[in-house]
């Protein structure tokens, strides 16, 4: 395994401690092996012969990251996100239309209050992603199955499991009925492929990182807010920016941002939580947020699946060895930042970069 790590700037050095490796290997003494500097704040270390391992990065002086499980032959870690491609490559790209900002609004449970929320979104040109439990749609306070296609028209319908269990407590054989069963039901109701889900209670299952791609799913949303505008290293373990109760404050920072690379504001929540007697979680607060964020020419308003599909497309872009050409093998156009402007690179096309 080749491991690249972007250390926080205040760390003097970067060390890597590992354990529980396969094939088995003895763990080093703390703080682990000192990593080799690459460029800027990037450091590198190779664990020869290892396929997986638990890792923690640290500075050798008391500061460290969270524990991570590494399964990549070569990968990059920055701000706790694991990447299969160098995240610095993203600086070469923009979102569709050449925009550098995107907004995803992700709401769970299929509550009847989604109807009112969608009215606010539609009035301000916003797009929502709504995560629905197909086995609970006939319960009280839920949008019924027969109404889902109509209520959520123009927005993205996404999975949330069939019955909203704690997935980490389930045997692996039950995951298919809870996740894939949910997706199949939703697809029958909405008439288009459902590409992802929000994990119920924000908790995944270790097997899902393997199973979701086999089932054609490209993202899974966790909880555990980042409070920033990063892109996901692994969209199957996607952490949002903020809960709805913190969205308005963070939106001011997002609007003031002058990004030099694609930046994503990802808000999550539940419409049933909105209560006119709660600060930072009433309909006036939601209306203020929507009015502030809506109808802006510099923001791409997208569903979570659209963002995940676009990120997969730009990760698939290939640069020539000499760095003078770029090829788009995906089925989506990608937008390349070049010479102070934007180039739309069509599917299957090659572009000659300025020397």
The CATH number covering residue 74 comes to 2.60.40.10
- Which residues, including other chains, have CB under 8 Å from residue 107's CB and lie 6 or more apart? 114, 117, 128, 129, 130, 131, 244, 268, 269, 270, 271
What is the reported pTM? 0.93
Per the structure, the complete domain to which residue 23 belongs is given by 2-84
Model confidence over 120-174: pLDDT tens digits?
999 999 999 999 999 999 999 999 999 999 999 999 999 999 999 999 999 999 9
Given 51, 84, 117, which residue is the final one in a domain?
84
Residue 227 lies inside a defined structural domain of this protein: yes
Q: 187 with 249, same domain?
A: yes
For residues 301 and 321, membership in a common domain is answered with no
Q: Are residues 224 and 191 in the same domain?
A: yes
Domain boundary among 84, 109, 130: 84
39 located within any domain: yes
Residue 270 and residue 231 share a domain: yes
Which tens digit of pLDDT belongs to each residue from 259-268? 999 999 999 9
| Pair 234, 265 in one domain | yes
Report yes or no on 104 lying in a domain: yes
> Do 163 and 272 sit in the same domain of this protein?
yes
Mutual angle of helices 247-256 and 283-293, in 10-degree steps: 10
Domain tally, the chain: 3
- 51 and 170 belong to one structural domain: no
> Are 270 and 323 in a shared domain?
no
Biggest CA pair distance of the chain = 63
Q: Which pLDDT belongs to residue 353?
A: 85
Question: Tens of pLDDT along 273-316?
Answer: 998 788 899 999 999 999 999 999 999 999 999 999 999 999 99
332 and 299 in a common domain:
no
Distances in whole angstroms, Cα of residue 123 to Cα of each of 100, 120, 193, 282:
23, 5, 26, 17
Is there a domain that residue 89 lies in? no
């Amino acid at each position: 395994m080749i491991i690249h790590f972007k250390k926080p700037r205040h760390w003097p050095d970067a060390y890597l401690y590992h354990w529980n490796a396969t094939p088995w290997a003895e763990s080093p003494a703390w703080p682990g092996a000192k990593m080799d500097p690459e460029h800027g704040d990037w450091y590198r270390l190779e664990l020869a012969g290892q396929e997986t391992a638990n890792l923690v990065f640290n500075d050798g002086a008391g500061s460290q990251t969270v524990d991570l499980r590494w399964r990549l032959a070569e990968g990059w870690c920055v701000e706790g996100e694991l990447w299969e491609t160098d995240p610095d490559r993203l600086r070469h790209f923009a979102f569709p239309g050449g925009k550098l900002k995107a907004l995803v609004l992700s709401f769970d449970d299929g509550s009847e209050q989604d109807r009112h929320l969608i009215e606010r979104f539609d009035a301000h040109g916003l797009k929502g992603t709504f995560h629905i439990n197909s086995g609970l749609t006939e319960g009280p306070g839920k949008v019924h199955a027969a109404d889902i296609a109509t209520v959520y028209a123009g927005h993205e319908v996404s999975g949330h499991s069939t019955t909203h269990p704690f997935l980490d407590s389930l045997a692996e054989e039950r995951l298919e009925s809870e996740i894939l069963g949910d997706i199949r039901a939703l697809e029958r109701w909405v008439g288009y492929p459902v590409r992802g889900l929000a994990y119920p209670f924000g908790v995944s299952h270790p097997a899902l990182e393997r199973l979701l791609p086999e089932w054609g799913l490209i993202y899974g949303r966790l909880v555990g807010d980042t409070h920033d505008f990063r892109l996901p290293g692994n969209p199957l373990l996607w952490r949002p920016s903020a809960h709805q109760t913190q969205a308005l404050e963070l939106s001011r920072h997002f609007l003031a941002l002058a990004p030099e690379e694609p930046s994503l504001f990802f808000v999550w929540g539940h419409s049933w939580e909105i209560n006119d007697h709660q600060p930072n979680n009433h309909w006036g607060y939601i209306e203020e947020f929507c009015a502030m964020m809506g109808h802006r020419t510099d923001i791409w308003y997208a569903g979570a699946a659209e963002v995940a599909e676009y990120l997969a497309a730009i990760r698939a872009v290939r640069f020539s060895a000499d760095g003078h050409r770029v090829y788009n093998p995906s089925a989506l156009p990608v937008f390349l930042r070049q010479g102070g402007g934007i180039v739309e690179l069509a599917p299957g096309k090659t572009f000659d970069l300025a020397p």
